[in-house]
Amino acid sequence: MSEEVGMDVQPDEVSIYQTPSGNFDAEDARSESVRKERVDLQSEIEMGAVTEDELAKDTHVSQGLFQDDGDGKDEDDNDSGTYYPNSDGSGTRLQRAERDGDTVFPDTFQTSHLLHYERFKAYQDYMLGDCKMSEVKAFTADYLEKVVEPCDWQAVWCTDVFDVLVEVVDVDYKDMKAQVELVLPLKCEARGCEVTEEAINTLLEATLQKVPLQELEVIYEESGDFDSTALALEHLRFFYKHIWREWDEEDEDDDFDYFMRYVEPRLRLYYDILEDRVPAGLVTEYHALVGQCADKFQEFSSLRNGLSSDSDSELDNVSMVEGLRLYEQMEALKRKLRIIENPLLRYVLRYKFNSGQHCSSARGARPAGARRVVHVVCVSATVGLLQSLMADKLAPQYSGDDFEVQLHNDPQVAVAACYEGDVVIVCPGHYNISSSISIPDSILLEGYGLPDEVVIEKKSKGDTFVECAGASVKISNLKFIEHDTIEGILCVRQGKVEMENCVMQCETTGVIVRTSAELIMNMCDLYGSKGAGVEIYPGSVCSLLGTGIHHCKDGVLIKDFADKLDTKPKITMVNNVIHNNEGYGVILVKPNDDLSDDQPAKMETADEPDVSTVPAEVDPAAAEEAEEPCEASSVESDLPEAEIPIIVVEEEQEEEVEEEECCAINEGSEENDVIKRELTATNTRKLRRQISKANQGGSMQADENLPSQEMFVSIQGNQFKRNGKGSFGTFLY
């Protein structure tokens, strides 16, 4: 991977004959035309048609995109945006994408393999920068104009029905389309139908010979002249396929950085999904939400386009009510999408939408007359081991005719073979498993020996390590070592799980207790989680007794979604030792009431001044006085006089805006007033939410009163030591 060279380019320091690919051609066959171009461009500069600042800007973009490894290196910019052609004319740096099987097409450039930081840097530094939402298309067109060759290059035009080889004769950068001609003899591959040269020419005539740039795949050339074109089309194609949403244009708040609000989180989510860092259920939910939102937006747009601006007909009134309903549904879907796209909120809220899913279904009880099975798992069944096991376990507890013994060498296979009421005994040894252990039935899983002697380790990626959904599951005397799973070392989806004398060595996520599930951890040890050691969801029951939780990001994380259907969890914490965690020992995650979407947006008028404008150091009594109606400017309070006019001015401006809106509403007929007021109020709420809440990561604060909340059934005898931020805290999102 080459490192990008940081250069402060000035017009008189850079040859103006540098081609878009970055190669210097002053001595090749085109030297005469290059000299002519120099004279023309210099004349334009002297005449003022092209300023030197503009020339410097364009040259800087080209060099930033297409420079190679040099002796000088910018320490702050050594993550190159992508593979770009070098300036010594040594040829392409992009790989060849060879087509599978027999094909009539030449090879194209391999561009779909780009890494996260390569795309990130290309969008941030070259394509979008700090543009606003309304400027996205203009910035994109400007980027394409700087890097895409205007003509004389071949590409494969890829559609859903056919692929055909074409030659580009012109590029319309503003519309992001290319004017093309068929390459003869015709090279075409159709899917499920027969395509002729005449049919394709007819299609091209209907589109004025223009096709979208993102449907073109540039033909591979070793010269490197078209590397920049291939990469630019890849960035364009990826952006409109995975980043851009057609409803982004509906966002009325155009004062934000589009890259920071939408591109960065969506790009990060794409690669998190690609690298299996998001649960499969959440990925399915996300794609379903995107599809639903797209359908609602299309329906809403069609309905809105069909409304007449000056009509008071009954049909239009019905359409406006229907439009309001669709709008609210679309806003709800967009809020869910924003939560999943935000990395921080995805962590604290990611399982809310796809809860209750588990990998396998319960097998139930064995057929009538069948005996219960004791599954014995051992690396090697020696005589001594079997004698000890018979004396200590099998004979005293399972010697009746109702039991039979089966031997296994893999604990995952043994658990998968269980029916309701079966027992799994794992003998000493280190067991490496490749897939998750799913326990959908009520069984007993225990280790024969000390936890450090009976170790189950999972190194492969996946959603879970151990997941339980049985009505009553008991796990004891085992050590679990987890690597790179998403939903935790143990996920209790439903039912009841009792863990006793177990050790859990985590690498990513700890124990998760989902809604309606119950967990009892007695004399266990959990450490190493990059998230919380134990995550407790609304409506769950969790009892931690004599358990150690340490060296995690947070000890215990309690989630509150503020959903009316959710009930408070019931938590018991007795004689635990929670220490050496990066954050808090116990932290509650809940929505900020002031920013919650469920609360109606307040109009900051003089009648209802916004308390958030009161400085933090002001006494609460002063803030209460500021809420008295109609006297915000004259009320006696502890507010400094210099700050009172600021509040008054904002309130007066907003009051004037509200009066203007009310005047506009009253212009319609009497029967439309209610509908129009609803639409206006909805737009106001939307704007308020965007300004106050857009992409806020939340705030964290210590909260020593947390143990007094009613969710704690009992909390006593616990020790909190050396936790980075304290014993108890609250995270407001």
pLDDT digits (tens, 9 = 90+) for 335-394: 889 888 887 777 666 555 444 455 567 888 888 878 889 999 998 888 888 899 989 988
pLDDT of residue 62: 45
Mean pLDDT on 119-148:
92
Q: Residue-wise over 497-535: b if at least 16 C-beta within 10 A, else e?
A: bbbbbbbbbbebbbbbbbbbbbbbbbebbbbbbebbbbb
pLDDT of residue 335: 87
235 band by pLDDT with thresholds 50, 70 and 90: very high
Task: Average the pLDDT over each of 160-164, 187-191, 303-307, 624-628 and give the range with the smallest value.
Answer: 624-628
Task: Average the pLDDT over each of 46-60, 106-120, 128-142 and give the range with the smallest value.
Answer: 46-60
Helix (H) or strand (E) holding 57: helix 52-66
Residues 714/573, Cβ–Cβ less than 8 Å:
yes
Residue 581: other Cβ atoms inside 10 A: 27
Residues 228/65, Cβ–Cβ less than 8 Å:
yes
pLDDT of residue 76: 42
18 band by pLDDT with thresholds 50, 70 and 90: very low
How far apart (Å, rounded) are the C-alpha atoms in residues 621 and 639? 10
Mean pLDDT of the chain: 76
- Interval 401-440: pLDDT, tens: 788 999 999 999 999 999 999 999 999 999 999 888 999 9
Start-to-end C-alpha separation, the chain: 39
Strand order in the sheet with 437-439: 437-439, 466-468, 490-492, 511-513, 532-536, 554-559, 584-590, 726-732, 699-702
Q: How many CA atoms lie within 13 A of 715 on its CB side?
A: 18
Alpha helices in 77-213 (DSSP H): 116-121, 136-147, 197-206
Mean pLDDT on 635-645:
36
Task: Average the pLDDT over each of 234-238, 311-315, 587-591 and give the range with the smallest value.
Answer: 311-315
Task: Average the pLDDT over each of 5-9, 292-296, 467-471, 500-504 and give the range with the smallest value.
Answer: 5-9
Check residues 497 and 324 and name the one with the higher pLDDT: 497
- Interval 701-716: pLDDT, tens: 888 889 999 899 999 9
| Residues paired with residue 519 on neighbouring β-strands, in sequence order | 497, 542
Radius of gyration of the chain (CA): 33
3-state SS assignment for residue 628: coil
Residue 717: other Cβ atoms inside 10 A: 12
For 635-682, strand residue ranges (E) read none
pLDDT of residue 77: 43
pLDDT of residue 82: 44
Single-letter residue type at 677: R
Instruction: Decide: pTM greater than 0.75.
Output: no
Q: What are phi and psi of 406, to 5 degrees?
A: -125, 140
Residues 449/420, Cβ–Cβ less than 8 Å:
no
Sign of CA dihedral 26, 29, 30, 36: positive
- Interval 260-294: pLDDT, tens: 989 999 999 999 888 877 877 788 889 999 999 99
Name every residue whose Cβ is closer than 8 Å to that of residue 568 and which is 6 or more positions away in sequence.
538, 539, 560, 710, 711
Q: How many CA atoms lie within 13 A of 187 on its CB side?
A: 17
Helix (H) or strand (E) holding 33: helix 31-47
pLDDT of residue 567: 84
3-state SS assignment for residue 668: coil
679 band by pLDDT with thresholds 50, 70 and 90: low
pLDDT of residue 220: 92
| Residues paired with residue 172 on neighbouring β-strands, in sequence order | 177
pLDDT of residue 618: 37
- Interval 243-260: pLDDT, tens: 999 888 887 666 788 999
Single-letter residue type at 274: L
Write out the two tokens for 622.
């002063």
Residues 714/576, Cβ–Cβ less than 8 Å:
no
Name every residue whose Cβ is closer than 8 Å to that of residue 414 and which is 6 or more positions away in sequence.
375, 377, 406, 408, 424, 426
Pairing of the two strands 472-476 and 495-500? parallel
Check residues 33 and 393 and name the one with the higher pLDDT: 393
Residues 84/66, Cβ–Cβ less than 8 Å:
yes
Residue 663 has pLDDT above 80, yes or no: no
pLDDT of residue 304: 83
Mean pLDDT on 640-667:
42
Task: Average the pLDDT over each of 45-59, 114-128, 614-628, 682-696 and give the range with the smallest value.
Answer: 614-628
Pairing of the two strands 699-702 and 726-732? antiparallel
In 3D, which of 517, 509, 518 has the Cα closest to residue 490? 509
Mean pLDDT on 55-70:
45
How far apart (Å, rounded) are the C-alpha atoms in residues 649 and 26? 63
Q: Residue-wise over 96-105: b if at least 16 C-beta within 10 A, else e?
A: eeeeeeeeeb
Check residues 717 and 95 and name the one with the higher pLDDT: 717
- The rounded Cα 261 to chain-centroid distance in angstroms is 12
Residue 65 has pLDDT above 90, yes or no: no
Residue 73 has pLDDT above 60, yes or no: no
Mean pLDDT on 158-173:
94
Task: Average the pLDDT over each of 135-144, 389-398, 468-477 and give the range with the smallest value.
Answer: 389-398
Pairing of the two strands 153-158 and 162-172? antiparallel
How far apart (Å, rounded) are the C-alpha atoms in residues 562 and 259? 30
Residue 130 has pLDDT above 70, yes or no: yes
pLDDT of residue 309: 61
How far apart (Å, rounded) are the C-alpha atoms in residues 349 and 340? 8
Q: C-alpha distances in angstroms, 710 versus 542, 563, 574, 590?
A: 14, 17, 16, 15
pLDDT of residue 348: 64
Percent above pLDDT 90 for the chain: 42
Residue 7 has pLDDT above 60, yes or no: no
